[in-house]
Structure 1
Amino acid sequence: MLQPRRLTTLSANLICMASMLVWAAGLPAAELLIGPLTPLPLTALRMLTALALLLPLWLALEGLQSLRRASWTRGLFVGGIGFGLGAYLLVSAQSLTDPITIAVITAAMPVIGITLECLLDGRRLSGALILGVALSLCGGLISYGGKLGSGGFGIGALMAVVSVVCYTWGSRATVKSFPDLSPLGRATVTLAGATAVTTLAAGLQVSLGGPYPDWSAIGLPQIVALLIYGIGALAVSQVLWIISVGHLGIGVASLHGNATPFYVMIFLVMLGGSWSWTQALAAGIVVLGVLVAQGRMPRRTAETIRRDNPMS
């Protein structure tokens, strides 16, 4: 099994930023896929695309023994709920709203992540941590800029919130449930679980008379978008994310999520959109919040927390 070299806190934060940046690229890409593909088949295809890269890569790098040692049943549970259900709700939410709305709602992630650490890991709240979260939330609200996209606070926004809860729980559970696997192995096992659940659900939906994908509307732009959405914004992003969560903990890692609207804006600018200095300022405030939260809070990695709380 390949174990990553010990990361510095700076390296872990840069990896987390890279994960969010790559993930943000998937939101505009999803816009090309929502319509020809309904949320459940799209989620299943995205998972299959990611798994098609990660599973052979894991086998090639770490060998068959690593795959045999993995708890695939646990991966089915954690991946199915955390990433399968979470991803389906995210796609459903975006089909009812827009990319900026989805990105802004991820502002709830630090609160959810730190709440989980306090309840399950015995994390102590400190003034610096609270201030860091407040700055991160402030950055998210500034990027909101007085309007929440075109969807408002409807069912789509509610789905996005539940999706964030699932994903946050799943991220923590991935690190905690597979301590003997590498980040690549952790990501692959849980994505395999998510793939199994979403593929089965999509097949069941179609067999019961649900909406069928419009394959005739799938051309080269949609295929490229699926590769970005599945390989970049899921496979690559997920491995980077699990690395950062394993070092920083879900609470601090999730603070980075509030810079996502800025990253989405960057990709929209590349597609012809306009630059927003307000969102650039908001991203700077989020980064400041991340630095404040880590500058004074105890730097406890997931491994340290596990040693201190063996029953968690």
Structure 2
Amino acid sequence: MRALDGLGYRGAVGLTLVASLLWGVWWIPIRWLEAEGLEGVWASLAMGLAALPAFGLLALRDRSGAVTAPRALLGALLIGLAAMLYGSALAFTDVVRAVVIFYLAPAWSIAIECLFMGRRLSLRSALALGLSALGVAAIFGFRIPLEGFAAGDLAALLSGLSWAIGAALVFARPGGRPVALSFFATLGLVLGAGAVLALGGAAAGHWPGWAEASAAVPLALATGLAYLVPILLVTIWAAQRLAPATMSFLLTAEIIAGVVSGALFLSEPFGWAEALGAALIILGAAAEAIVPPARRAAPVDSGRTGAQRGG
């Protein structure tokens, strides 16, 4: 983590883009687990249960890992809930549909910053929103279907909203090292999955039993440790340093990864419309993120409170 702490604004932007691309192909292990019998929320829960003790051990090793801001803790829990809802959406609806509905998050983030964080809606932000919206529309051939809004679509919508609120709280109320906040984010994922399973019953996914899931459980544990842990840690670390709208726009690169991987592995089409959409999304993210660091808030020193950093 010390190596990450030495990175500046551009390093945070670069790592966020890498994490975004990896989030974009998260559907692959989820679909693998679904094929092995872990349906719906069970796949996300199994990966979260593997990641939780790993983050717990990392937080215990990090002596400065205490969380000092309750709102940052709540933000981390909401980010974990967003990850669980997003994973569920990938299982319950089409990959591209889930990814695109989730990416109303930039709009939520800009609204939160304008309403609660003193930001003014600028021409740059409006341009970023417009380019991203055009990119999403282009990927769908400018025919975005709204009929048949199902449970998976609702999960994707709530995931984007939960992410936007959680990222705003983590950024605005620093307190705690990324490993500690990542532990709470994973706890939010696990608790959210447990609540959905308790309330939704069979509709949230069927548990096949230990005998039938003998192949899926080890795969889920390995995926949680080798995949979920690093990308969630980087996401939390970047959320402490980048404004919520910037984070949300950078994470739209996930759409590109989802569309391309869907074309390669699910035989989904990738033609001029998808290429145009990807280019517009990249331009939108660039319009929001590529700004001289002097015009941004100073990077978070996670060892200080908001009052100590003058916020």
> Which interval holds the TM-score relative to the shorter structure?
0.7 to 0.9
- The 1:233/1:268 distance shift into structure 2, 3 A limit, reads farther
- The 1:33/1:147 distance shift into structure 2, 3 A limit, reads farther
Q: Structure 1 residue 192 and structure 2 residue 187: aligned?
A: yes
Q: Structure 1 residue 50 and structure 2 residue 43: aligned?
A: no
Letter in 2 for 1:183: P
Alpha-carbon distance in structure 2 between the residues aligned to 1:141 and 1:211: 31
Q: Structure 1 residue 70 and structure 2 residue 67: aligned?
A: yes
TM-score by length of 2: 0.79
Question: 8 Å contact 2:85–2:159 — kept in the other structure?
Answer: yes
- The 1:260/1:231 distance shift into structure 2, 3 A limit, reads same
Query: What are the ranges of 5 or more consecutive residues in structure 2 without an aligned counterpart?
Result: none
Alpha-carbon distance in structure 1 between the residues aligned to 2:95 and 2:216: 18
Query: What are the ranges of 5 or more consecutive residues in structure 1 without an aligned counterpart?
Result: none
Structure-2 residue corresponding to 1:126: 122
Structure-2 residue corresponding to 1:158: 154
Deviations 1:105-142 (A, max 9, x none): 12201101111111221112111121112112221222
Structure-1 residue corresponding to 2:274: 279
Deviations 1:10-69 (A, max 9, x none): 322211111111111211221233372343433322211222332223333x2xx335x3
Partner SS, residue 34 of structure 1: helix
Letter in 2 for 1:299: R
Question: Could you tell me how far 1:234 is from its partner in structure 2?
Answer: 3.1
Question: Which one has a larger percent helix, Structure 1 or Structure 2?
Answer: 1
Structure-1 residue corresponding to 2:256: 262
Paired residue total? 303
Alpha-carbon distance in structure 1 between the residues aligned to 2:151 and 2:194: 25
Alpha-carbon distance in structure 1 between the residues aligned to 2:33 and 2:146: 19
- The 1:272/1:91 distance shift into structure 2, 3 A limit, reads closer
Q: Structure 1 residue 248 and structure 2 residue 219: aligned?
A: no
Alpha-carbon distance in structure 2 between the residues aligned to 1:283 and 1:219: 39
Question: Could you tell me how far 1:71 is from its partner in structure 2?
Answer: 5.5
- The 1:174/1:294 distance shift into structure 2, 3 A limit, reads closer
Question: 8 Å contact 2:55–2:179 — kept in the other structure?
Answer: yes
Alpha-carbon distance in structure 1 between the residues aligned to 2:32 and 2:221: 9
Alpha-carbon distance in structure 2 between the residues aligned to 1:231 and 1:144: 34
Partner SS, residue 247 of structure 1: coil
1:89 to 85, 103, 108: 85
Question: Could you tell me how far 1:285 is from its partner in structure 2?
Answer: 1.6
Q: Greater CA deviation, 198-207 or 18-27?
A: 198-207
1:23-62 aligned within 5 A: 23-34=23-34, 36-60=37-61, 62=62
1:131-210 aligned within 5 A: 131-146=127-142, 152-177=148-173, 179-195=174-190, 197-198=191-192, 200-201=194-195, 204=198
Question: Could you tell me how far 1:255 is from its partner in structure 2?
Answer: 0.7
Deviations 1:72-93 (A, max 9, x none): 9767744444423x34433443
